[in-house]
Amino acid sequence: MGIQFRGSYTVTVTPFTADGAAIDYEALKRFLDWQIECGVPGVIILGTTGEFLTISDEERHAYVDATVKHVNGRMHVLVGAMNASTPKAAAYAKMAEDLGADGLMILPPYYYTPTEDEIYGYYKAICAATKLPIMLYNNPFTSNVDMSAKLVAKLTAAFEQVQYIKEASTDVGRVFDVIRESKGAMNVFAGERIVESFLLGAVGYVDPFGNYIPRATQKLWRLLEAGRIDDAKRIQAHITKIEHTIAEGHPTYGHQCYSKALASLAGYPVGDVRPPLTTFASLGDEGKQRLAVLSGVMQELDKLLAEIG
């Protein structure tokens, strides 16, 4: 294995201009520099949090190019290259490789509820198009399919590019199952339940909270690696408060609009979300009230980080 991905990788928002019509590249540069300053080992762009479905192919090319060039080797850049169309996903993968990305994160073909044979064929075609390491993305809530540990092990054995998985099925025991079925060959990244996933063998975390509390999520992972599990759990408890506060709203509010509002609160404005997602601006008083609660949790986290040292 060449490049190794380890630790807490921020799955980033895509910064937009105020009217949402274009990508805000100055905001992107400021945001990426902040991630690097906070010790983030890598970013994953154009994932679910990055609103990849709202990005045109022309924007995709320009955005990947700008990200890779600005990062300039200071951290890893992985690119979400999923699509319901196999040829298009393969083309996105090749584009990312041609533009200098370090790796890919790829969801199975969504909407169609594909069979395991169809999923296998999809990844086979993508692997024929690129040599970049691939992080499978198992999220049955968005792809409408749950990749079993046996299927993941089969893909790992068949394709040398398939080296990682973001496991977001909510079944934390799946981390152990994937490692066992693949005979330790698959490197699992937690999609949630960070501490528990680490204790079951996860080597990293795909981190949406890094969009606004990157110092805390980086500290959490370093504490885990240092064996300071109880201190890591204290940070995770605050992250759980953030997650629950967001989840109490209408489901379509999602992490995207709150991630952007909270990034702005942290000093890194990145605009609002594109349709059809609910904008933060449209939430009115409810959004302001939740943002005040979330701001309080972020302040508590700052105090906790100072206490933990």
Amino acid identity for residue 245 in this structure: T
Catalytic residue among 9, 122, 164, 166: 166
**Separation between Cα atoms, residue 46 and residue 32, nearest integer Å:** 14
CA distances in angstroms from 166 to 5, 100, 144, 200, 302, listed in the order given: 12, 22, 16, 14, 28
63 assigned to active site: no
> Angle at the Cα of 46 (from 267 to 263), degrees rounded to 5?
10
H-run or E-run covering 164: strand 162-167
**Separation between Cα atoms, residue 160 and residue 60, nearest integer Å:** 26
Catalytic residue among 137, 205, 212, 268: 137
- Burial of residue 57 (CB within 10 Å: 0-12, 13-18, 19+) is exposed
Kindly state the tokens that stand for 47.
Answer: 């994932």
In the DSSP assignment, the letter for residue 21 is S
124 assigned to active site: no
In the DSSP assignment, the letter for residue 170 is S
Q: Spell out the alpha helix ranges (H) of 111-253.
A: 116-129, 140-143, 149-158, 173-181, 194-199, 214-225, 229-247
Q: Which residues are catalytic?
A: 137, 166
